[in-house]
Structure 1
Amino acid sequence: MAIAKAERLMNLALCLMNTRRPLSKRELRSSVEAYREITSDDAFNRMFERDKDDLRELGLVIEIVESLDGDTGYLARRDRNRLPEIALDAEEAAALSLAARVWQQARLAGAASGALQKLRAAGVPFETADDTGHAGYPHGVGGVIEPRIPAHEPAFEPLMLAARDRRPVTFEYRKANAVRPQTRQVEPWALECWRGHWYLAGWDRDRKARRVFRLSRIVGRVRSRSGGFTAEVPDHVDVRQTVETWAGEGATSTARIRLRRGAGYPLRARAVETVPAPGEWAADWDELEIPYGHGLDAWLVEFGPDVVVLGPQELRADVIERLRAVAKG
């Protein structure tokens, strides 16, 4: 729903709910700012009827009252439009609290804080912890384990708003093995965090296919484009499953790598086996066996000199090729 329409519906709902007597169309037209800008009576009547129907579909009970002089009035009585009592279990409350912490790093920080305060006032308990934890990893304070989801990428907020409003965007994107970024025209569908990084799923207009983009690889500003979506948005967008497949999650084969100690925590977390490296490598390196699937080479390149691929040979060759491409840039 466009922001302008949502604001207009909200203003109309507030007018209908905050009156003690039915209001006529003329009174509503003068009270709602968006209506005052319409000069044509026919255009106003059509918009008002559509807005009234939309509010009813959203659950607002609107009464129509005929006055003695034949004029029609409208109102929404508060006793007929009360929300049910808020009742959240511990898992639902934790999910809302975690979502609010993501918005603390975007423009919705004020709204998120206000929503949590209202829920607390309604008696919904929230476990909180201080901010001493490291972003992207769980930490505990006083026995409370609280996951942290960072949203520091500048592209997060414009993409989140564009996905919400169904607006296509343009941005410069640098692939892991690319020397220069390329322009991408994307219809954004959904954002999801996986292993401390945010990813966007959407329709790539130039490639005419669905794609997943890592936000940290977006260079410069995200620009909105006019017009709507050209591709159908799927009912379910599973960003994480796509990224996991690219990173080798669920793979049936394994790869052997050498990893510098104190580096590559995500790789260590997924290792099937970890042993000290032999010989001259023993002081500073470990050898890991990790799941091997499509896209693992691009992920390993991101760890730079902290990773040495031992096998299989095709993976080693792919990683070396990507590193050479980056070095040439």
Structure 2
Amino acid sequence: MAIAKAERLMNLALCLLGTRRPLTKRELRASIEAYVEAFGTGDGGTGSDDSFNRMFERDKDDLRELGLVIETVEGLDGETGYLARRDSNRLPPITLDAAEAAALGLAAKIWQQARLAGAASGALQKLRAAGMPFEDDGSFEAQQPHSALEPRIPAHEAAFEPLMLACRDRRPVVFDYRKSNAARPEQRQVEPWILECWRGHWYLAGWDRGRQAERVFRLSRITGKVRSRQGKFTAEVPDHVTVRETVESWAGETATGTARIRLRADHGYPLRARALSIRELGGGWDELEIPYGHGLDAWLVEFGPDVVVLEPAELRADVVDRLRAVAKG
């Protein structure tokens, strides 16, 4: 649902829930800013009135589909009135067991962005008001072991929030993207499907319109702003998107052999974590044996001068080619 429409529906729902008497369409049109901006207060002519009536009827139907009980009252000086009584729209009692409440408390701590953190905090405040036994720090008081956990999912890239909203609203986007072996970024037109975090980095999966194929993008390689585009998706969104499997193949996770590399001492900890063996060479270098699979060259390039490939020869050649491509830029 687009943000503008969601805000309009929320304002309409608040008006209907907050009134003590039925409100006519004319009163609602003059009270809700989105209606005023689009159609004026009622003196815009027949065309404007017809457009407002169609939008209002759609909005009213959408709220009813979302579960809001809206009553219609006839005979208000010849007009029809609308209201949503609070007693007809109360939520049933919320009951969570200890594990569910603990999971919510932990989830509220995950996001570091202020926008998301505020929403999570507000949700917990509402649950506390409803009687859920959360502690002040957001944990469930019966689950003391969880109080020591401080989970974090970092999302420092500027592209994260606009892409998150685009995935939610099913809106195509355009952004400049620099591949690991490219000297300059290229513009990509993408229908975004899903965001996933893997080993501290965020990735976007979606349909690349220019290449007419599914692609996965690392957010840290997006340069400039993410711009939204009008229109619907042209490709069907799959039921299951294999973001992690794709990224693992890039990083050599689906290994078919082994490789030997020299790694500068006290550097490349992700490589050390996957190493099959590590041998000190002296002079500030170590020798590592690591799993070798498709895409390992792209991962090794990211470590720059801290890594030297010893074997196999084809991996060394691929890494050198990638570094030369970047150096040419």
What TM-score does the superposition give when structure 1 sets the normalisation length?
0.82
Three-state SS of the structure 2 residue aligned to 1:222 is: strand
With 214-223 and 37-46 compared, the bigger mean Cα shift is at 37-46
Q: 2 CA distance for matches of 1:182 and 1:290?
A: 32
CA RMSD of aligned residues (A): 3.0
Q: How does 1:7-22 map to 2 (within 5 A)?
A: 7-22=7-22
CA deviation map 1:171-214 (0-9, x unaligned): 22111111112122222222221111111112212111111111
Three-state SS of the structure 2 residue aligned to 1:266 is: helix
CA deviation map 1:246-287 (0-9, x unaligned): 22224343333333332222223333x23323xxx1464444
Q: 2 CA distance for matches of 1:283 and 1:93?
A: 53
Q: 1:257 and 2:261 equivalent?
A: yes
Q: 2 CA distance for matches of 1:186 and 1:176?
A: 19
- Counting aligned pairs with the same residue, the percent is 78
Q: 2 CA distance for matches of 1:26 and 1:142?
A: 53
Q: Match for 1:275 among 274, 278, 299?
A: 278
Q: 2 CA distance for matches of 1:312 and 1:85?
A: 63
Aligned length: 314
Query: Residue 83 of structure 2 aligns with which residue?
Result: 75
User: Where does structure 2 lack aligned partners over 5 or more consecutive residues?
Assistant: 139-144
Deviation at 1:318, TM superposition (A): 1.3
Q: Match for 1:125 among 121, 130, 134?
A: 134
Deviation at 1:303, TM superposition (A): 1.1
With 223-232 and 90-99 compared, the bigger mean Cα shift is at 90-99
With 296-305 and 313-322 compared, the bigger mean Cα shift is at 313-322
Query: Residue 166 of structure 1 aligns with which residue?
Result: 170
CA deviation map 1:158-183 (0-9, x unaligned): 22233233332222211111111212
Deviation at 1:230, TM superposition (A): 2.6
Query: Residue 136 of structure 1 aligns with which residue?
Result: none
Q: 1 CA distance for matches of 2:7 and 2:152?
A: 32
Query: Residue 44 of structure 1 aligns with which residue?
Result: 52
Three-state SS of the structure 1 residue aligned to 2:316 is: helix
Q: 2 CA distance for matches of 1:160 and 1:102?
A: 16
With 6-15 and 90-99 compared, the bigger mean Cα shift is at 90-99
Q: 1 CA distance for matches of 2:91 and 2:259?
A: 55
Deviation at 1:120, TM superposition (A): 4.2
Q: 1 CA distance for matches of 2:239 and 2:79?
A: 45
Contact 2:171 2:228 in 1 (8 A): yes
Amino acid at match of 2:81: G
Q: 2 CA distance for matches of 1:316 and 1:215?
A: 27
Query: Residue 57 of structure 1 aligns with which residue?
Result: 65
Q: 2 CA distance for matches of 1:148 and 1:169?
A: 27
Amino acid at match of 1:257: I
Contact 2:277 2:290 in 1 (8 A): no
Contact 1:254 1:292 in 2 (8 A): yes
Amino acid at match of 1:321: D
CA deviation map 1:5-25 (0-9, x unaligned): 111111111111112333232
Q: 2 CA distance for matches of 1:24 and 1:299?
A: 62
Q: 2 CA distance for matches of 1:84 and 1:249?
A: 47
Q: 2 CA distance for matches of 1:68 and 1:182?
A: 61
Contact 1:187 1:205 in 2 (8 A): yes
What TM-score does the superposition give when structure 2 sets the normalisation length?
0.82
Deviation at 1:301, TM superposition (A): 1.0
Deviation at 1:215, TM superposition (A): 1.2
CA deviation map 1:103-124 (0-9, x unaligned): 5425444334333433344425
Cα 1:9/1:215, change in 2 over 3 Å: same
Amino acid at match of 1:9: L
Query: Residue 155 of structure 2 aligns with which residue?
Result: 151
Amino acid at match of 2:244: R
Amino acid at match of 2:127: L
Query: Residue 214 of structure 1 aligns with which residue?
Result: 218
Three-state SS of the structure 1 residue aligned to 2:255 is: coil
Three-state SS of the structure 2 residue aligned to 1:187 is: strand
User: Where does structure 1 lack aligned partners over 5 or more consecutive residues?
Assistant: 130-140
Q: 2 CA distance for matches of 1:167 and 1:161?
A: 8
Amino acid at match of 2:71: E
Q: 2 CA distance for matches of 1:288 and 1:239?
A: 28
Deviation at 1:155, TM superposition (A): 1.8
